[in-house]
Chains A and B, each alone.
Chain A
């Protein structure tokens, strides 16, 4: 039971990171029907950006107060990663809108290869260890249980929850969110009703990247190390989360992320860590084969 509770906490932490990345996949798929293959690498890039900004703040500017540093790193990483994704969409995907369906997918795969190799070239191929941060660990020894909960884990889950709430408000109650949902339903009709479709799609990429940047900051805090190749596997797992939750559905992406995090952690704990990635990939295949619309997604209707 100790182990179960402990893994539950670990799984929710990991799942929060996956959920944040999954939103980027699910929003882009919802609005332009494209699997944004480079999203995992955008996440990796954001982790690098966060790490470097953290070091600029602490080493060059000499800021001492950790909460302030944390907030500045978060905001800067979100803004810069959003700028990157905006530029990527503008250069690599927008010219291909209206082209045949495979073209953006190939372009995105190319972008993914480009981004990971770009980071390798400019930052070097070795693992980047993040500076050690103070991390208080609470021992929750109530009754028969012995479970630890670290400040980092609380921080990750709480920040994720707050940002998701803000994001939910944005999509559900603002005109921007309405425009986005309208484009998702019918792009041509939305354009006829005066919605700037290109701008809305750009903003979708910007929001997706900002949330991926939050996940990137969390990733650096949680694992304390980042590498240029770290984009691919979390990217595929987050995509799995988006598919499991029902692609196109925002609550589905979060739910899927939490489930994938939990499954991965429990699989590693109770079976073997060797095959933990296989578990995620198997879930992806099984979901797509037997339940293509996911848990919360709408089934796709085929028109002849």
Chain B
């Protein structure tokens, strides 16, 4: 025992000494590159003065600090490769050799009787219903714990906001995850739905419950109209053309002032009512009829359950459709379009139904958006929204319903949490505004998530058709679709 450990320690020390110089060298190189990247854009801040002339304000310490941080990070990472792993191993072996040994042994025996896959399967089976129960109870929990005024923010900014994106993610999942059609202009259908409700309710006075299906139908029609010309396109090309269509719809919304009021948007959209009972502070209002004290929270809670119901409808329809011939045709199309065609599947209809259904749910979400905000403008339907929804679908693991929901909660909830970071002002001074870093970190998170987990958070798939036993397969085996 002693002789081999001595030699290994010897080689370790030699390795760490040999590690030092290359680690320093690469850290210096990285630090220099970081300094080069910082040089003009961070080192100097160009600011307009009173005469609207630009003046430069030096910020050298910041750029030196960034370069030093990069240097330290790279250096430690290089050194950690050799040394830290050994230290971790040593600590681990001491623990295992001492009193921890019995525990480890017990744990291993436990694993023998119950294989870890069973535990994972149970987790997979019960996590969905558990999460759903939690979501249903969320507004009541928030109301009970925080009271009406403090919980409003939580239900509205987190609950409703995340659920809108869950629904949009599930809607886009039909197009991207199931049919494998890469759509970068999904926000167009969201916009069509939002403007449909806004225009129909303000000009014709139609109620939300009539406008909701109409908005869905109109969005589905646009899905077919935009889907038809792009049937032949594949992959990246399809993504770019759908992006172009999304931008065209937004520009039409901006420039067709007679209809849409341009940049100013449409305001005064009727708010949602409780099946005809308005959430107002008078005798016919919701609070008065149900003998409750008036607070605006009831409307928010109703909106929460409304979007939850809409999202669950999307989920339910998607799950059912996956088992119908059309859903199987989508997935077959994603895997191999040529094989589909030779087996007699009508690829035109298959693609168009995917576009139409995805767009329909986008339209539902859009009309919900406009009834919630009471105001729509083209600013809400930029390309960033499309990219966000696509990122949610891809991060969710393309095709996994639960994964999309988790990804939406992460991608929307975490940037919202950034708004709460007021304590950081105490560290960085009063000028520090955490919300301004929201989108910066959002973009960085997209890159990091892709590198860390390119197959998404839930990277296994359950097949919709199986012979004897339903086995989860790795997401790597699922194609992302070529067209």
Contacts and interface: CB of A to CB of B under 8 A. Distances in A.
Contacts of A33: 236
A292 interface: yes
A60 interface: yes
A60 B55 CA distance: 10
* Residue of B41, B52, B239 with highest tally of chain A CB at under 10 A: B41
B284 interface: no
Contacts of A289: 229-230, 232-233, 241
A264 to B, nearest CB: 13
Interface string A257-295: 000000000000000001101100110110011001000
B309 interface: no
B439 A113 contact: yes
A110 B44 contact: no
A117 B383 contact: no
Interface of B: 33, 36-37, 39-42, 44-48, 52-56, 182, 229-230, 232-233, 235-237, 239-241, 243-245, 247-248, 251-252, 255, 338, 383-384, 387, 390-391, 394, 398, 436-437, 439-440, 442-447, 450-451, 454-455, 476, 480
Contact of A106 (B36, B39, B240, B394): B394
Determine chain B's interface SS by DSSP, over half rule.
helix
Given A87-B37, A100-B480, A110-B450, A282 B248 contact: yes
A55 interface: yes
A105 B33 CA distance: 25
Contact of B248 (A96, A281, A292): A281
* Residue of B48, B54, B338 with highest tally of chain A CB at under 10 A: B54
B451 A102 contact: no
Contact of A103 (B37, B39, B241, B454): B454
Interface stretch (A11-19, A125-133, A143-151): A125-133
Contact of A124 (B45, B53, B252): B45
A122 B63 CA distance: 11
A243 interface: yes
Nearest to A289: B229
Given A117-B443, A239-B240, A106 B390 contact: yes
A121 B437 contact: yes
A131 B387 contact: no
Interface stretch (A43-51, A134-142, A183-191, A203-211): A43-51
A109 B241 CA distance: 15
* Residue of B45, B243, B476, B480 with highest tally of chain A CB at under 10 A: B243
A113 B40 contact: no
Contacts of A45: 41
Contact of B391 (A83, A110, A115, A124): A110
Given A56-B56, A110-B445, A288 B241 contact: yes
A52 interface: yes
Given A111-B447, A278-B252, A122 B41 contact: yes
A298 interface: no
Contacts of B251: 275, 277-278, 281
A167 interface: no
A35 interface: yes
A83 B33 contact: yes
B455 A100 contact: yes
A6 interface: no
* Residue of A84, A92, A278 with highest tally of chain B CB at under 10 A: A278
Contact of B244 (A53, A130, A284): A284
Nearest to A92: B447
Interface in A206-261: 232, 236, 239-240, 243
A101 interface: yes
A128 B46 CA distance: 8
A52 B251 CA distance: 32
Contacts of A122: 41-42, 45
A292 B233 contact: yes
B440 A117 contact: yes
Given A128-B48, A129-B54, A275-B255, A80 B36 contact: yes
A92 B338 CA distance: 33
Contacts of B387: 109, 113
